[in-house]
A = this chain, B = another copy of it.
Amino acid sequence: MIQNKYKVVVIGAGFGGLWVAKALAHSDYEAIFIDKNNYHTFLPLLYQVSAAEVSPEQIASPVRSILRSKKNIQFIRGEVSQINYSKKVIVCLGQEIPFDYLIVSAGSVNHYFEIPGAGKFAFPLKTLDDAMVLRNHILTCFERASFINDEEQRKRLLTIVIAGGGPTGVEFAGALAELIAGPLKKDFPELKNEKIALHLIEASNNLIGMYHASLGQYTQKQLEKKGVHVHCNAKVNAIDASGVHLHDGSVLPAETVVWTAGVKGRLVSNDLTIQTVPDGRIVVDEFCRISGYTDVFVIGDLACFIQDGKPLPMIAPVAMQQGKYVGRLLKRLLKGKKVKPFRYSDRGGMVAIGRNKAVSQIAGMHIKGYVAWIIWIFIHILYLIGFKNKIFVMINWVWSYIFFEKSVRLILPGCCDDPHGDLCLHRGRSCKG
């Protein structure tokens, strides 16, 4: 390697990071990518892992094989413990790594809004590990319910509450309703006379609030048709081992509470007092830089980029566009060219509700039902990383479409659940070993 190349360090191999990598590939920069996982996760399909529709491997791609052809890019699997702006180094796995330019694309973590018990008792759905734990947990609840004699306990085991009616909550509720109504009903003939309850709780008066109200209402109607109990204008007061306490004083006893109600920026500790907004995001300027710094960029969920007076949403397309933008910006800098400010181009969004049903909002149009569903499938397969993953996910979807099956109904790995205990795994309850 040529010693005098500029060094770029990129923290995070999510959508933001990977789009930087694409732009910087074969450039005159020497780049180091750092992620705590050795794989990139295709987060838009994460809920399908929890709903036993696809397997975790099918929405993950090894970062090293994505970066393999880009000879100027190196990968380190590890967590960044410190950013030192004045010295221009980051600390990873105890070693200092110098940078000329730093791009922070560390993503987001769950935001529990200080609701008591939410962080401890609700299941998160933010990482591939989370998704597997949740799948295992739900299947374990059914196994236990099929064998237990206590009526009340069985009812609690068969109640699932999803807190948060945004896209993730809606998509998961739809997929879970289909898992329960189809494969699980057939798998558990012992439970055919039992009531299995799936609740979706939303604090505002409409599901998927960032979409047009008519799409939210359509979504609610479709979910209700699938048997989901949708509670709008319902606020969670507290979550404990027994279930969910709502602000109107009512209690939903449930063994499974899933948190999809909010995310916040995933801060990396640093030596600087940087300006953050209440959801933990770092305020950036029109070039995606931390104000006052010419060499530190923040992109994706962690960045708070104000456009037309409003912060951009924390979604994948923003991260991709920002990643591509910053990568190109660095290349232009090297050539001494001028750079234009970043501008997000909103190409719309879409939410799957289930079989043949989705909503999408593209170029001002509000599309519902089958057409939206076909668009959803097409876009998700298109952006899913890895050709073989695309094939596997497609086969799984066709399979479950034809046979009404979700075939990844495996409690695997088993290390995090306890078939013997009275209480169930993880989330502040019991866990063996």
Contacts and interface: CB of A to CB of B under 8 A. Distances in A.
Contact of A412 (B57, B187, B410, B411): B57
Contacts of A395: 388, 391-392
A76 interface: yes
Given A395-B391, A419-B36, A60 B412 contact: yes
A36 to B, nearest CB: 7
A129 interface: yes
A93 B419 CA distance: 8
Interface stretch (A62-70, A240-248, A252-260, A350-358): A62-70
Given A139-B38, A391-B395, A412-B60, A68 B386 contact: no
A140 to B, nearest CB: 8
A288 to B, nearest CB: 28
A408 B396 CA distance: 17
Contacts of A410: 38-39, 56-57, 60, 62
Contacts of A416: 415
Contacts of A388: 395-396, 399, 407
Interface of A: 36-39, 55-58, 60, 62, 64-65, 68, 74, 76-79, 93, 95, 128-129, 132-133, 139, 143, 146-147, 183, 186-188, 190, 386, 388, 391-392, 395-396, 399, 405, 407-416, 419-420
Pairs of residues from A and B, 7 with the lowest C-beta to C-beta distance, nearest first: A55-B57, A64-B187, A77-B143, A62-B409, A129-B413, A39-B410, A38-B411
